[in-house]
Amino acid sequence: MQDEAAVALELRCDDGLGTIDREGALPYYHQLKAIMSRQIASGRWQPGVQIPSEPELCRLFGVSRTVVRQTLGELENERVLIRRKGRGTFVAERKVSGRLFQSLTGFHDDMLSQGRVPRTQVLAMSVEPANDLVATELEIEPGEKVVRIDRLRSVDTEPMLLVTTWLPHDLCHELAVVDLTDRSLYQELAKLGLHIQHGRRTVEAIQATAADAAELAVKRGDPLLFIRSVTYLPNGRAVEYYEAKHRGDRTSLEVDLVRSGDPVSGARPG
């Protein structure tokens, strides 16, 4: 971890990134927020680094404690910084990009594309009869066999989401004996000739249960993003239904917007 003096010196000598424009129209707290955000975005302040204290920031930039506190408050609210009681303020861990909600590349490949290290722990695998909800989503009859997979997904060794997946047994029975530890489900489906073409997802906010908290290293009642997803083969057959609980403090949601009637660019729905 960098010490406060080293961070402060780097901030002060950062080729113009650390200069308050006293003749400019922007309020000082806007400028200070931009300076600190650039330090983080540029990689000069890495996740986990302790930033200078409030008095040190006041001294470095010649601004009041009120300006510094307003700046830090906004960056904390945006989860860019995190304050630890009795220890100081630190750069928060990077959030996982919300494009995984739009992309059909799958969690494993999506994390690799972001330069992250995905890990998958299989908590349970079984073959069971589909309940009414699963049957409806997979467009099969209640009671038909499905392969159920419960997994804990992590990024850079940090628990990130819990996901339960159901797959039609008649299509995917081979997967019931495949060890999916640190492997991509979508890649395994592709090996069976099952290539996902499109899907749909819904997102809502929920609170972590005691069981969720234990697995995800959060507190009971902490916010989670609850994702339901169904994916389809080119012939329209539903091949996967899953329910995932993402840590709210470590996940950002990114959505492409288009004018009604315009074709959607970028990732497919799903």
Tens-place pLDDT, residues 29-40: 888 988 888 888
Determine phi and psi for 231, rounding to 5 degrees.
-120, 155
Statement to judge: residues 74 and 127 lie in one domain: no
- Alpha-carbon distance of 143 to 236, in angstroms, equals 21
Per-residue pLDDT at 7 exceeds 90: no
Residues 46 and 37: their CA atoms lie apart, in Å, by: 12
Do 230 and 127 lie in a common domain? yes
Query: Which parts of 131-255 fold into alpha helices (H)?
Result: 132-138, 169-172, 185-191, 210-216
Q: Identify the band that residue 102 occupies on the pLDDT scale cut at 50, 70 and 90.
A: low
How far apart, in whole angstroms, are the C-alpha atoms of residue 255 and residue 103? 11
- Per the CB < 8 A criterion, the answer to whether 140 and 156 are in contact is no
Q: Do 141 and 224 belong together in one domain?
A: yes
pLDDT class of 83 with cuts at 50, 70, 90: confident
Write phi, then psi, for 241 (nearest 5 degrees): -125, 130
pLDDT tens figures, 208-255: 999 999 999 999 999 999 999 999 999 999 999 999 999 988 777 666
pLDDT-derived band at 266, boundaries 50, 70, 90: very low
Whether 79 and 209 share a structural domain: no
User: 3-state class of 260 per DSSP?
Assistant: coil
Instruction: Check residue 108 and give its pLDDT.
Output: 59
Distance CA 232, CA 238 (A): 4
Q: Among 56, 91, 126, give the residue marking a domain's end.
A: 91
- By C-alpha distance, which of 100, 91, 127, 245 is closest to 186? 100
Domain that holds residue 56: 4-91
- Which pLDDT score is estimated for 234? 94
The answer to whether residue 201 sits within a structural domain is: yes
Identify whether residues 86 and 104 lie together within a single domain.
Answer: no
Q: Are residues 62 and 158 in the same domain?
A: no
* Residue 5 clears pLDDT 90, i.e. is over it: no
Which domain-ending residue is among 91, 117, 149? Answer: 91
| CATH number of the domain encompassing residue 224 | 3.40.1410.10
The token pair that represents 153 in the structure block: 């997904």
Q: Are residues 51 and 106 in the same domain?
A: no
Mean pLDDT of 81-104: 72
Q: Which of the 8 DSSP states describes residue 105?
A: S
CA–CA separation, 107 vs 202, rounded Å? 16
pTM for this entry: 0.64
Integer Cα distance of 205 and 249 in angstroms:
12
Task: Please provide the size of the chain in residues.
Answer: 270
Q: Please tell me whether residues 140 and 174 are part of one structural domain.
A: yes
Residue 45 makes CB contacts below 8 A (sequence gap 6+) with 7, 36, 39, 51, 91
Alpha-helical segments (H) within the chain: 4-12, 28-41, 54-61, 65-77, 107-113, 132-138, 169-172, 185-191, 210-216
Domain membership of residue 263 (yes or no) is no
Asked if pLDDT for residue 66 goes beyond 80, the answer is yes
Instruction: Work out the number of other CB atoms within 10 angstroms of the CB of residue 123.
Output: 12
Q: What percent of the chain has pLDDT over 70?
A: 78
78 and 145 co-located in one domain: no
If you average pLDDT over residues 87-112, what whole number do you get? 66
pLDDT of residue 128: 97
Within a domain: residue 260?
no
7 vs 80, more confident:
80
Total structural domains within the chain:
2
Mean pLDDT in the chain? Answer: 82
111 and 221 part of one domain: yes
In a domain, 207, yes or no: yes
Same-domain status, 68 and 173: no
Domain stop point among 35, 67, 91:
91
CB 127 within 8 A of CB 145: yes
Query: Residue 16: is its pLDDT beyond 90?
Result: no
Residue with structure tokens 């904390």?
76
- pLDDT tens digits, one per residue of 186-203: 999 999 999 999 998 888
Q: List all residues 6 or more positions away from 100 whose beta carbon is below 8 Å from its beta carbon.
A: 107, 110, 111
β strands within 92-144, DSSP E? 118-129
- List pLDDT tens digits, range 131-144: 999 999 999 999 99
pLDDT of residue 104: 58
Q: Are residues 107 and 230 in the same domain?
A: yes
Taking the C-alpha atoms of residue 111 and residue 46, their distance in angstroms, rounded to an integer, is 19
